[in-house]
Structure 1
Amino acid sequence: MAFTRATGKHRARGRMSRGSVRVAGAATLTATGVISTLAASPALAADTDVAAAQTGLTQALVINDSLAGTIDAQADAQRRAAAEAKARAAAKAEAARKAEARAQEIRAEKERAARTAERERLNAFQLPIAGSYVTTGYRAGGSLWSSGSHSGVDFRAASGTSVVAVGTGTVVEAGWGGSYGNNIVLRMSDGTYTQYGHLSSIGVAVGQSVTPGQRIGLSGATGNATGPHLHFEARTGPDYGSDIDPVAYLRAHGVNV
């Protein structure tokens, strides 16, 4: 029995035809690229996924490196900002410390100057009646004085004129003094004594401390006096008879008489 090959479109492909298909597939691979062919094969597709995963890891590493660099840069900037802020705060604190130290120095200087001025004021002497002058000198002779001479000096003063301490001292006598009338005796800070006589009133008490220029009474004509004036004496002791030249005494203490 003889066999014949079927004809028409249902005819099986021959070896030549299958070879042609392989050639055509290879051409297709060349034309469309590796990816389309790899996608047609499960095994090759798996290999493609691994390659893609490896590519993504590389990208992630690159991104992570870039992010880390950004974070480091931000951290460095924050550290620099913190260091600058700390430096500014330290400079501000140092400036405040120096300003306070200078303020303390100024206060100390003012206090020293005030103490010096106060010492000078307390050690200063002045006239017992401001703007007055001597009308009767020391040791002037005459019958007006029981000793035959004047034991002090008289300063011109209308009745009721303020009489002040010539310097810093303490009241050791304040009251009636016989021929001196109302009188005050002060023990001065240098150990000498001064007396103020013929007062119309007394404004201090025994034991009271007085300062230069402080009012201690008012002038008058009490006691042995021919008219209102101030009798002023300088003494080495509190009692009569220890007198010294009052003009020389005042001048020795810087008073212009």
Structure 2
Amino acid sequence: MAFTRATGKHRRPSRTARTTRNLAGIATLAASGVVATVASPALAAAEEPAPHDTGLHQAVAIGDALADRVEAQADAQQAAAETAAAQARAEAEAKRLAEAAKKKAEAEREAKERAARDAERKRLLATFVAPVDGSYVSTPYKASSGLWSSGSHTGIDFHAAYGTPVHAVGAGTVVEAGWGGAYGNNVVIKMNDGTYTQYGHLSSIGVTVGQTVMPGDQIALSGNTGNTTGPHLHFEARTGPDYGSDIDPIAYLRAHGVTV
């Protein structure tokens, strides 16, 4: 005697069981020749999801849709992050290039300014001026007189009233500033070309030993200190710092572009 399991009042057959029974019914109807009239309803009934299966399918469908939305959102966020990162890199590169261009421009500007300063300095170093503005030579070089111990004038005298500004004729360094015996108050400058210039009979001195001077710098005021018969400026050009190394000051100044 065979036993079959009752489905029970509250128990529905499984999808597998239902599907199997539907297929068996279809086969029986086909054998009896009535499949054409009843097969379609039976198949339609078999394809309709049971209430239990419909809920599961809906949950799966909703889960899949939610996963798709989450994935799409993640893709969008990643794309946005990649775009932002690329933009940040581009901005950083643009900033780096701008800073490099700015530094280059500053370096070029500084180089031009330095070159201009160097050129101006070279020009000034090569420039010579008269020791007294708007003056003239009142006593020439090598003039003979008993007023000088050597018997002749070792420099030239420029006409200058007492207290007239006296200028360095060129660029150099002060090697003597003070009393010079017969020269009275005097200043001696070693010029940048290795020669020396002397300024004598000064009423006051405005520079000190070791000081660097440029062409036209005021170094003293004219006077009549030392062996002199009146205020004027005694100017000498020398090959060395000491007395007796004098050279023609007129030729010296003219060789450096000064009209005397």
- Give me the TM-score of the superposition, normalised by structure 1: 0.70
- Count of residues in correspondence between the two structures: 217
Instruction: Give, in whole Å, the separation in 1 of the partners of 2:248 and 2:84.
Output: 81
Match of 1:241 in 2: 244
Q: Which amino acid aligns with 1:57?
A: V
- 1:153–1:49 Cα change, 3 Å: same
Q: Are 2:96 and 1:103 equivalent residues in the alignment?
A: no
Q: Which amino acid aligns with 2:142?
A: R
Q: Are 2:164 and 1:161 equivalent residues in the alignment?
A: yes
Q: Which amino acid aligns with 1:247?
A: I
2:93 alignment partner, one of 90, 114, 121:
90
- The alignment partner of 1:127 has SS state of coil
1:177 alignment partner, one of 174, 181, 185:
181
Instruction: Give, in whole Å, the separation in 2 of the partners of 1:63 and 1:224.
Output: 115
Instruction: Give, in whole Å, the separation in 2 of the partners of 1:149 and 1:46.
Output: 140
- 1:63–1:250 Cα change, 3 Å: same
Instruction: Give, in whole Å, the separation in 2 of the partners of 1:64 and 1:173.
Output: 98
1:136 alignment partner, one of 127, 133, 139:
139
Q: Are 2:226 and 1:193 equivalent residues in the alignment?
A: no
1:228 Cα deviation from its structure 2 partner: 1.6
Larger radius of gyration: 1
In structure 1, stretches of 5+ residues that fail to align are 1-32, 39-43
Q: Is contact 2:177–2:207 with CA below 8 Å preserved after alignment?
A: no
Match of 2:212 in 1: 210
Instruction: Give, in whole Å, the separation in 1 of the partners of 2:98 and 2:177.
Output: 59
2:75 alignment partner, one of 60, 72, 76:
72
- The alignment partner of 2:188 has SS state of strand
Q: Is contact 1:174–1:204 with CA below 8 Å preserved after alignment?
A: no
Q: Is contact 1:198–1:225 with CA below 8 Å preserved after alignment?
A: yes
Identity %: 49
Q: Is contact 1:122–1:211 with CA below 8 Å preserved after alignment?
A: no
| Farther-moved stretch of structure 1 (65-74 vs 140-149) | 140-149
1:95 Cα deviation from its structure 2 partner: 0.7
- 1:223–1:51 Cα change, 3 Å: closer
Instruction: Give, in whole Å, the separation in 2 of the partners of 1:197 and 1:156.
Output: 13
- RMSD over aligned Cα, in angstroms? 3.2
1:147 Cα deviation from its structure 2 partner: 4.1
1:63 Cα deviation from its structure 2 partner: 4.3
| Farther-moved stretch of structure 1 (236-245 vs 58-67) | 58-67
Q: Which amino acid aligns with 1:252?
A: A
Instruction: Give, in whole Å, the separation in 2 of the partners of 1:55 and 1:131.
Output: 113
- The alignment partner of 1:78 has SS state of helix
Match of 1:22 in 2: none
- Give me the TM-score of the superposition, normalised by structure 2: 0.69
